[in-house]
A and B are shown apart, each in its own frame.
Chain A
Amino acid sequence: MLRFIVRRLLIAIPLLVAASFLCFALTTAMGDPLGDWKLQRPRTEAEIAAAYQRIGYDKPVLERYVNWAGGFVVGDWKTTVTPGNGTVDVREEVTRAVWVTARLVVGAEIVALLLGMMVGVVGAVRQYSRFDYAATGVAFALFAMPLFCLAVLLKFGGIELNNWLEGLGFGRWIVTAGPPAEGFSGGLFERLYAYSGAYILPTLCLVAIQFAVYSRFQRASMLDTLNADYVRTARAKGLSPARVIFRHAYRNALIPVITVFALNLGVVISGAVITETVFGWRGLGQLIVDAILKKEPWLIQGVMMSTAIFIVLFNLIADVLYARLDPRIRYD
Chain B
Amino acid sequence: MRRTRATALAALGMAASVVLAGCGGGGSGPAAPAPAPSTQNFDPGTVGKIDEPYNRPQVTDIGDVAVTVDEGFQDYNNNTGAANSLANTYVLPLLQPSPYFVDENLVLRIDRDYMESVTVTSTDPQVIEWKWRPDAVWSDGQPIGCKDMYLLWLAANATAKDGDAQIFDSTPTGYDRVSGISCSPDGKTVTTTFGQPYADYRGLFSVAGQAGSQLLPAHILEQRTGIPDITKIDPKVDNEQLRAAGTFFTTGWNGFDAAVALSGGPYLIESSTRNDTTVLVRNERWWANPGGPARITISAVTDSQANVQKLLNKEAQVIAPQAESAIAEQIRAQGGEFTVFARGGQTYEHIDFQMTNPLFRDNPELRKAVASCVNRQDLVDKLIKSVDPAAVPLGNFVFQPNETGFEDHYAGVGTGDAATAKTLLEGAGWTLGPDGVYAKNGQRASFRLGFKLVDRRAQTAQLVAASCKPAGIEVIADPAEDFNDRRLPAGDFDAALFAWVGSPIKSSLVPNYISKAAGGTANYNNYSNPKFDEVLLASNGEIDFGKRTQLFNDADKIMAEDLHSIPLFQLPDFAAADRTIGPVSYLGFGGGPLWNAFAWQKGQ
Residue of A with least CB distance to B84: A84
A32-B485, A277-B302, A278-B305 are known contacts. Are A40 and B511 too (CB-CB below 8 A)?
Answer: no
A277-B313 in contact (CB<8A): no
In the complex, what's the smallest C-beta–C-beta distance from B576 to chain A, in angstroms?
Answer: 15
A45-B521, A176-B313, A178-B277 are known contacts. Are A87 and B484 too (CB-CB below 8 A)?
Answer: no
Chain B positions 145 through 178: 1 when the CB is less than 8 Å from some CB of chain A, otherwise 0 = 0000000000000000101111001010000000
- A78 interface residue per 8 A CB criterion: no
In the complex, what's the smallest C-beta–C-beta distance from B269 to chain A, in angstroms?
Answer: 14
CB-CB under 8 A from B486, the residues of chain A are 31-32, 35
Name the contact of A88 in the complex, choosing from B161, B274, B302, B503 (C-beta under 8 A): B274
In the complex, what's the smallest C-beta–C-beta distance from A198 to chain B, in angstroms?
Answer: 10
Binds B, one of A19-27, A48-56, A128-136, A261-269: A48-56
CB-CB under 8 A from B522, the residues of chain A are 39, 41-43
CB-CB under 8 A from B305, the residues of chain A are 152, 278
A86-B306 in contact (CB<8A): no
A174-B314 Cα distance, complex, nearest whole Å = 11
Binds B, one of A102-110, A154-162, A215-223, A322-330: A154-162
A39-B307 Cα distance, complex, nearest whole Å = 28
- B85 interface residue per 8 A CB criterion: yes
- A279 interface residue per 8 A CB criterion: yes
CB-CB under 8 A from B273, the residues of chain A are 182
Residue of A with least CB distance to B306: A177
B313-A280 in contact (CB<8A): no
B164-A46 in contact (CB<8A): yes
- Give the size category of A's interface with B: 35 or more
A85-B85, A86-B82, A86-B83 are known contacts. Are A183 and B315 too (CB-CB below 8 A)?
Answer: no
- A224 interface residue per 8 A CB criterion: no
Name the contact of B306 in the complex, choosing from A32, A50, A85, A280 (C-beta under 8 A): A280
A53-B501 Cα distance, complex, nearest whole Å = 26
A86-B302 in contact (CB<8A): no
Chain B positions 470 through 482: 1 when the CB is less than 8 Å from some CB of chain A, otherwise 0 = 0000000000011
Residue of B with least CB distance to A44: B521
In the complex, what's the smallest C-beta–C-beta distance from A180 to chain B, in angstroms?
Answer: 10
Give chain A interface residues in 158-195, CB to chain B under 8 Å. 158-159, 162, 172, 174-178, 181-183
- B210 interface residue per 8 A CB criterion: yes
Residue of B with least CB distance to A152: B305
Chain A positions 274 through 287: 1 when the CB is less than 8 Å from some CB of chain B, otherwise 0 = 00011110100010
CB-CB under 8 A from A53, the residues of chain B are 163-165
- B255 interface residue per 8 A CB criterion: yes
- A47 interface residue per 8 A CB criterion: yes
- A63 interface residue per 8 A CB criterion: no
In the complex, what's the smallest C-beta–C-beta distance from A99 to chain B, in angstroms?
Answer: 12
CB-CB under 8 A from B271, the residues of chain A are 182-183
Give chain B interface residues in 104-149, CB to chain A under 8 Å. none
Name the contact of B299 in the complex, choosing from A46, A47, A279, A280 (C-beta under 8 A): A280
Give chain B interface residues in 258-285, CB to chain A under 8 Å. 271, 273-277
CB-CB under 8 A from B166, the residues of chain A are 50
A274-B306 Cα distance, complex, nearest whole Å = 12
A83-B84, A86-B254, A286-B302 are known contacts. Are A42 and B309 too (CB-CB below 8 A)?
Answer: no
- B81 interface residue per 8 A CB criterion: yes
A282-B300 in contact (CB<8A): yes
- A38 interface residue per 8 A CB criterion: yes
A46-B164, A277-B302 are known contacts. Are A41 and B82 too (CB-CB below 8 A)?
Answer: no
Residue of B with least CB distance to A54: B165
A321-B254 Cα distance, complex, nearest whole Å = 45
A86-B75 in contact (CB<8A): yes
A50-B164 in contact (CB<8A): yes
Residue of B with least CB distance to A159: B313
A182-B303 Cα distance, complex, nearest whole Å = 21
- A36 interface residue per 8 A CB criterion: yes
A51-B498 Cα distance, complex, nearest whole Å = 23
A145-B257 Cα distance, complex, nearest whole Å = 45
A32-B485, A155-B309 are known contacts. Are A280 and B521 too (CB-CB below 8 A)?
Answer: no
Chain B positions 218 through 258: 1 when the CB is less than 8 Å from some CB of chain A, otherwise 0 = 00000000000000000000000000000000010011000
CB-CB under 8 A from A279, the residues of chain B are 306
Residue of A with least CB distance to B523: A42
In the complex, what's the smallest C-beta–C-beta distance from A321 to chain B, in angstroms?
Answer: 36
In the complex, what's the smallest C-beta–C-beta distance from B71 to chain A, in angstroms?
Answer: 9
A35-B484 in contact (CB<8A): yes
CB-CB under 8 A from A45, the residues of chain B are 521
Give chain B interface residues in 272-328, CB to chain A under 8 Å. 273-277, 297, 299-303, 305-307, 309-310, 312-315
Extra inter-chain contacts (15) besides given A84-B86, A85-B83, CB under 8 Å? A32-B482, A81-B82, A83-B85, A86-B82, A86-B255, A88-B255, A88-B274, A155-B309, A156-B309, A172-B314, A177-B68, A178-B315, A182-B273, A278-B305, A282-B276
B residues lining the A interface (CB < 8 Å): 68, 74-75, 81-87, 161, 163-166, 169, 171, 210, 251, 254-255, 271, 273-277, 297, 299-303, 305-307, 309-310, 312-315, 481-482, 484-486, 488-489, 498, 501, 503, 508, 510-512, 520-522
Question: Could you pull out 27 A-B pairs where Cβ atoms are within 8 angstroms?
Answer: A31-B482, A32-B482, A35-B484, A38-B489, A39-B498, A42-B521, A43-B521, A51-B81, A54-B81, A85-B83, A85-B85, A86-B83, A86-B274, A87-B83, A88-B74, A88-B255, A88-B274, A159-B309, A174-B313, A177-B68, A177-B315, A178-B301, A181-B277, A279-B306, A280-B302, A282-B276, A286-B302
A residues lining the B interface (CB < 8 Å): 31-32, 35-36, 38-47, 49-51, 53-54, 58, 81, 83-88, 152, 155-156, 158-159, 162, 172, 174-178, 181-183, 277-280, 282, 286, 289-290
